[in-house]
Structures are given as C-alpha cells and as structure tokens.
Amino acid sequence: MLTIGDKFPEFALTGVVSNSPVNGFVEISDKSYEGKWKVVFFWPKDFTFICPTEIAAFGALNEEFEDRDAQILGVSTDSDFVHMAWRKDHEDLNDLPFPMVSDIKRELCEGLGILDADAGVALRATFVVDPDGIIQHVGVNGLNVGRNPQETLRILDALQTDELCPCNWNKGDEVLKVA
C-alpha cells in the first residue's frame, strides 16, 4: 500500500456530479483540482449499509473541507452508472456535493494497494493528499467498520498548520513549541 510521502498515482476516471444523465458525468483526474488539498476516500460497494453513512457524513462536512481549500473525492469500484442510480435511489446521496468516482477497472485501487484480497473491492481507505500530490495521511478500515469524517477534517487541519500537533489537538488549539 502507498503511504506517507508517496506520490498519489496518476488516474483518469469518470465521476458522477449530479443526477442528470446529460451532464452528470465528468472526467476526474489527478490533474483535476490542481493546487488544492484532496481528500480521497474509498468505499467497498454501492447499495450497501455502512457506505452511505460515511458518504453522507463527508457530504455534510463538504463546506468545511472547501473552507480549507480541500476537494473531497469519493471512489468505489462500481460503475459510474451504478453511482448515478444510487444517488437517485438514496435520499442522503441525492444532492451529494462532491464527485462519486468510478474505478471500475480497479486501476487506482490496485495502484494504491487497497483492494481487499478476498472480496476484490476497495477497503475503506482515506488519503489526504497535499497540493503537490504527495500523500500526507492514510487511514484504512476493514470492510465492516465505518470511518469518522470529522477525524479526517481534524487531521487535515493539523497537516495544514505544518506544526507539531499533540494528541487530540483541534483547530485553534495551541501547537507544541520546541525550544
């Protein structure tokens, strides 16, 4: 698995940005959102139980991530058409404010090393990538445990200080000073 300090892989995938079959599909690549921080999180499958709770929770925090000049990208190995169908079907995903990206060929998941060996789907991986495309944080959960998007936001805040941030540090708290 790629880790801290590694370059996030190049990719060009289809993202779903609305419920419109006419203009809801866009290409998303590693060049999209240049100069921004990126929070790229993966879920195993659409039309499941844990996944929409995480996706909706990231959606609820989207403005806070935007305030920090960060773009959220949600990714699974389902197709772009399945993503759109799920957006339309699931009330919590109807107006999702960030792209749902399809890695149907599993190229990005394989490049990152996050495919579950038995199920062949993405683990619940989260990558925080700096504006230069370097991975600054990786978190990975098993298939049956959801993650905490608020913690991802806290980690982004800490990374953006470029300071020493102690345990349980939150934005606005004092950072550690070494004399």
Active site residues: 51
How far does Cα 45 stand from its chain's mean position?
Answer: 14
- Residue 121: partners with Cβ closer than 8 Å, 6 or more residues away: 44, 45, 76, 77, 115, 143
In the chain the first and final C-alpha atoms are separated, in Å, by: 36
Q: How much is the CA Rg of the chain, to the nearest whole Å?
A: 16
- Residue 49: partners with Cβ closer than 8 Å, 6 or more residues away: none
Cα 13 to Cα 102: distance, rounded to the nearest angstrom: 6
